Amino acid sequence: MVETTVRVEDLKKWFPVRMGFFGSLVSRKELFVHAVDGISFEVQKGEIFGLAGESGSGKTTTGRVILRLTNPTSGKILFKDKDITRLRDRQLKPFRQKMQMVFQDPYESLNPRMTIFDIVAEPLRIHGGLSPKETEDKVHKTLDNVELTPPEEFTTRYPHELSGGQRQRVGVARALTLEPEFIVADEPVSMLDVSIRAEVLNLMVDLREKMQVAFLYITHDLAVARHTCDKVAIMYLGKIMEKGPIEKLIFEPLHPYTQALIAAVPVPDPSSKRIDAMIKGEIPSPVNPPSGCRFHTRCQCYIGDICRTVEPLLVETAKDHCVACHLYGNSKESAAKAGGD
C-alpha cells in the first residue's frame, strides 16, 4: 500500500527579469527566468525522493514552491490529495505544520541569539496549544530523536557552542518538533565537513524509518543520493530529464544528461578509469532556454533536428522509470502533445 504525501502536477515558477525603465521602453517583451518549467512528480509516505542536478537547474526553487515559501506561476501542489496551490496564509497554516524544511547552511539558518531550546520550541509556540511543561517535554523528546543527548546539556546552549554537525541536527530537530509528514532537505550536508556528513544523512534515513516522514532531498551529489534516496529525479533547466528508482538511474541511466552527470562523479578508486567522454560547456541561461530539448546544446547523442525543434515528453519506459529524450522514441506523440500545450 502506498500513500502519496505530496504530488506536484505541471508545476511552473517563472521569475520576471527586471529591466529598469529604459529597458522596458526598448523591449516590449517581458523576460522571465524559467526556474521551474512544468514538472510533475510525487513523493510517497516514508520515502526519500532525491532531486538532483547542476546549480541553476531549479532544484531549490522546486522545494520552496512546494512549501509555498514562494507562490507557483502555474500548476498544482497536492498535499495528501488536498490542493494547496492557491490557499491563503490562514488556510495554509495547518498544512505548514505538516511540511517543514531543513536549510543548507546551519551556520546561517540558526538565530545566534536564541538558545537551542528556543530554536526548537519556536515552531511549537507559533502553532500553539501546548503548556510550558508539554513544550519542554516535546523539545527534549525531539532532541533525543536527533541524538543530541542528553537534551538537558544542549537546551541552554547557543548555536556558536555547537559543531557544524550538531547545528545541522538542531536544524533537523526544529523541523521535526511539529511531527511533520513531509520535509524538504535542501543540500543539508554541503556545508558540513566530510567526516560528519554521514551522521546527518543517516539521521534522515533513520527518521524516515522510525516516523515514516517523506523527504524531498535536494542535492547535486549523485554518489550521496545513491546511498540515501529511494527515488530520484534529474533536473536540467527547470525540467525533469529522467526519474525513477535510484538503482535504475545509476546502473541503467537512459538520458544522456544523467549519463554525463554520473560520469562526472569522481570514483574513490585509483585503478578505475572513468569514461573520458565528458560533455562540454556549461548550463545555459534559464532566461532563454534552448528550444526543443533543453539539453541539445551539450548533448553527446544529438540525433538531428528533432532535438532542436521538438520538446521531448517525460515518458515511462519501464515501471516507474521515466525519461524525456528523443532517443527513446515517442517523438510523434510528444510532438503532438507539445503542439497542444
Partner 1 sequence: MPLLEVKNLKTYFRVKRGSVKAVDNVSFEVEKGEAMGLVGESGCGKTTIALSILRILPSNGKILGGNILFRGTDLVKLTEDEMRTNVRWKGISIVFQGAMNALNPVYKVGEQIIESIRLHEEYVTKEQADERVEKLFELVGVDPSRRDNYPHEFSGGMRQRAMIAMALSCNPELLIGDEPGTALDVIVAAQVLKLMNDLRMKLNLSMIMISHDLSIIAETCQKTAIMYGGKIGEYADITKVFKEPLHPYTQGLMGAFPGIRAEKTRMSSIPGSPPDLLSPPPACRFHPRCKYAMDICRTKEPELVDVGKKHYVACHLVHQRI
CA–CA dist 39, 157 (Å, integer): 42
By beta-carbon proximity to partner 1, the closer residue of 43 and 192 is 192
Tell me: cis bond preceding 150? Omega within 30 of 0 counts: yes
| Distance in Å, CB of 284 to partner 1, minimum | 10
| Distance in Å, CB of 264 to partner 1, minimum | 4
Which residue from 87, 114, 198, 306 is in contact with partner 1, where contact means CB under 8 A? 198
Q: Give the CA dihedral 256, 258, 263, 267, nearest 10 degrees.
A: -160
CA–CA dist 324, 243 (Å, integer): 9
List helix spans (H) across the chain: 20-26, 59-66, 89-98, 116-127, 132-145, 151-155, 164-176, 194-211, 222-228, 246-251, 256-264, 305-309, 331-340
Contact map string, positions 120 to 139, toward partner 1, x by CB under 8 A: --------------------
Which residue from 197, 239, 255, 294 is in contact with partner 1, where contact means CB under 8 A? 197
What would the 3-class secondary structure string for 90-109 be? Answer: HHHHHHHHHEEEECCCCCCC
Which residue from 119, 222, 233, 299 is in contact with partner 1, where contact means CB under 8 A? 222
Contact map string, positions 77 to 116, toward partner 1, x by CB under 8 A: ----------------------------------------
Residue 43 makes contact with partner 1 by CB under 8 A: no
CA–CA dist 319, 273 (Å, integer): 32
Which residue from 19, 32, 40, 54 is in contact with partner 1, where contact means CB under 8 A? 54
By beta-carbon proximity to partner 1, the closer residue of 35 and 224 is 224
Sites for partner 1 among residues 242-301 (CB under 8 A):
247, 250-251, 260-272, 274, 276, 278-280, 282-283
Helix (H, G, I), strand (E, B) or coil at 293: coil
| Distance in Å, CB of 298 to partner 1, minimum | 9
By beta-carbon proximity to partner 1, the closer residue of 81 and 209 is 209
CA distances from 284 to 33, 131, 237, 290, 298 (A): 12, 53, 8, 8, 9
CA–CA dist 323, 244 (Å, integer): 9
Which residue from 114, 130, 196, 327 is in contact with partner 1, where contact means CB under 8 A? 196
Helix (H, G, I), strand (E, B) or coil at 87: coil
Which residue from 24, 27, 55, 288 is in contact with partner 1, where contact means CB under 8 A? 55
Contact map string, positions 155 to 194, toward partner 1, x by CB under 8 A: --------xxxx--------------------------xx
| Distance in Å, CB of 220 to partner 1, minimum | 6
By beta-carbon proximity to partner 1, the closer residue of 133 and 280 is 280
Distance of CA 265 to the CA centre of its chain: 19
Grid cell listed for 149:
543527548
Tell me the chain's radius of gyration from C-alpha atoms: 22
Interface with partner 1 (CB under 8 A)? 54-55, 163-166, 193-199, 201-202, 205, 220-224, 226-228, 247, 250-251, 260-272, 274, 276, 278-280, 282-283
